[in-house]
């Protein structure tokens, strides 16, 4: 963890203690609810909800657009947006209408039967991402798992290559990093790995074509699974020529390429794939396309879809390891169709990206004004400020530049004044309802925090 963020540590600790105390005073009902949750593992419905800058999480009462109200009556401008799951905004009206119609009027929450909504959603994903054949899951994690199985089957190769400090959900194969000796090693904190991750995976640093080729040259990699820009370790953007180089090397070594667009969908209506003109063999995506309703999807090239369909030895219908009873359910498909047709449209992205650009420009001016060695990165509608300058060029550099103490202080300082960032890093995401006034509000509080830190 970095401590070279240009901040006096003693002052940071003093201010952090003050802000945590203020947080506790503002959230007595949240604190009480957390204390009573004896029958939840970790006192939360999912353990990562304990990732909070304070001593307990905020409990939700209601949410609409880019506003959240907690059980204590505090209202927040929400730049976290469910860590991308609510990029369409909270409960967008077209999604609510479509899901309500499906549930109340038509019926059938889970039927294991296809609906016309699914075909429409698949066609729209094909139009946006350029891959013709789509299948649905409930999470991007499952979409990645199933894509990996398909590509192992079609290649006969056992290993998957990922980037160091990537994020592809809880996919076992992705929990590998480049160690100090330059070799792959299990990522710190890897829970209950079924086998040594180096037996299933290879790893290369993002923006490192030489390292990628060295790993692909072994000839045992079925697929490269990557985000076109790293996101969950902080935004790390591709250098000029890097993504084209990845595509050339995967073709040279007979390896398929999967673009995980779950977070990089912020780049535009067709994600980074369309924005940068990429040509992957598979695209995986989840979260945002359902407008807040659980969904994941993967799209296949025509060549790959045909190759898989022609394999009589693969059980793609029953117990072959690809699929789930609730995948493609009528509610998720209604939500996905509504989100793609009516919410996360081209016009919506134009607005979101413009707002994000204003966010990035403003935050850069504030940081520069205080002479801090920080930087700002933007990927479409997504912005991140980093405690390093220049911005990290790969995942390992990004992990080294982290400053958890400083990050937590900024998060709780903002929360105490009605602004939420995503809890895992300094990410601010714009939705269709985010305004420049919301951006100005964040900047006003952020600048006040820096003024106190540097006084």
Q: What is the pLDDT of residues 187-226, one digit of tens each?
A: 999 999 999 999 999 999 999 999 999 999 999 999 999 9
Using the predicted structure, report yes or no on whether residue 3 has a pLDDT greater than 70: no
pLDDT digits (tens, 9 = 90+) for 352-404: 999 999 999 999 999 999 999 999 999 999 999 999 999 999 999 999 999 99
pLDDT digits (tens, 9 = 90+) for 151-162: 999 999 999 999
Using the predicted structure, report yes or no on whether residue 57 has a pLDDT greater than 60: yes
Using the predicted structure, report yes or no on whether residue 103 has a pLDDT greater than 90: yes
State how far the Cα of 75 lies from the Cα of 292, in Å rounded to an integer: 20
pTM: 0.96
Q: What's the pLDDT band for 450 if we cut at 50, 70, 90?
A: very high
Per DSSP (E only), the strands in 310-452 are 375-379, 382-386, 419-420, 427-429
Query: 338: which 2 tokens?
Result: 């509504």
pLDDT mean across residues, the chain: 96
Contact indicator for 395, 419 with CB cutoff of 8 Å: no
Q: Packing angle between helix 9-26 and helix 436-454, nearest 10 degrees? A: 130
At 319 the pLDDT is 83
Cis peptide leading into 390, omega within 30 of 0? yes
Using the predicted structure, report yes or no on whether residue 1 has a pLDDT greater than 70: no
**DSSP per-residue string spanning 52-74:** -SSSSPPPEEEEEBTEEEETTS-
At 204 the pLDDT is 98
In percent, how much of the chain has pLDDT > 90? 95
């Amino acid at each position: 963890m970095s401590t070279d963020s240009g901040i006096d540590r003693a002052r940071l600790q003093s201010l952090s203690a003050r802000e945590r105390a203020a947080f506790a005073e503002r959230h007595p009902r949240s604190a009480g609810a957390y204390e009573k949750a004896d029958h939840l593992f970790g006192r939360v419905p999912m353990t990562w909800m304990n990732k909070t800058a304070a001593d307990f999480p905020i409990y939700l009462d209601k949410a609409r657009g880019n506003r959240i109200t907690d059980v204590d009556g505090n209202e927040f401008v929400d730049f976290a947006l469910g860590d991308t799951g609510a990029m369409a905004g909270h409960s967008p009206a077209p999604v609510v209408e479509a899901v309500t119609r499906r549930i109340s009027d038509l019926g059938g929450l889970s039927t294991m039967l296809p609906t016309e909504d699914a075909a429409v959603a698949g066609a729209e994903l094909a139009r946006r991402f350029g891959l013709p054949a789509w299948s649905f899951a409930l999470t991007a994690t499952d979409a990645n798992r199933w894509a990996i199985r398909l590509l192992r089957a079609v290649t006969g190769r056992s290993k998957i290559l990922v980037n160091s400090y990537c994020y592809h959900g809880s996919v076992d194969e992705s929990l590998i990093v480049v160690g100090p000796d330059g070799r792959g090693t299990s990522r710190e904190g890897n829970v209950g790995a079924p086998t040594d991750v180096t037996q299933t995976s290879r790893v290369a640093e993002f923006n490192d074509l030489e390292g990628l080729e060295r790993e692909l040259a072994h000839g045992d990699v079925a697929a490269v699974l990557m985000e076109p820009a790293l996101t969950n370790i902080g935004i790390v953007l591709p250098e000029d020529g890097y993504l084209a180089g990845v595509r050339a090397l995967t073709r040279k070594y007979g390896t398929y390429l999967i673009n995980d667009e779950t977070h990089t969908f912020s780049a535009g209506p067709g994600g980074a794939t369309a924005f940068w003109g990429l040509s992957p063999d598979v695209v995986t995506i989840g979260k945002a396309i359902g407008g807040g309703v659980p969904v994941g999807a993967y799209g296949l090239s025509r060549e790959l879809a045909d190759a898989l369909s022609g394999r009589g030895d693969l059980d793609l219908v029953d117990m072959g390891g690809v699929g789930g009873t609730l995948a493609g359910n009528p509610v998720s498909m209604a939500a996905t169709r509504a989100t793609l047709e009516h919410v996360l449209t081209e016009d919506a992205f134009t607005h979101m990206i413009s707002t994000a650009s204003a966010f990035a420009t403003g935050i850069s001016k504030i940081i520069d004004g205080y002479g801090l060695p920080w930087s700002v990165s933007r990927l479409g509608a997504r912005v991140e400020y980093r405690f390093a300058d220049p911005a990290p060029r790969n995942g390992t550099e990004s992990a080294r530049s982290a400053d958890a103490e400083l990050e937590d202080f900024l998060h709780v300082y903002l929360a105490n004044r009605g602004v939420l960032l995503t809890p895992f890093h300094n990410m601010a995401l714009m939705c269709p309802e985010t305004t420049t006034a919301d951006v100005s509000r964040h900047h006003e509080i952020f600048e006040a925090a820096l003024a106190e830190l540097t006084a």
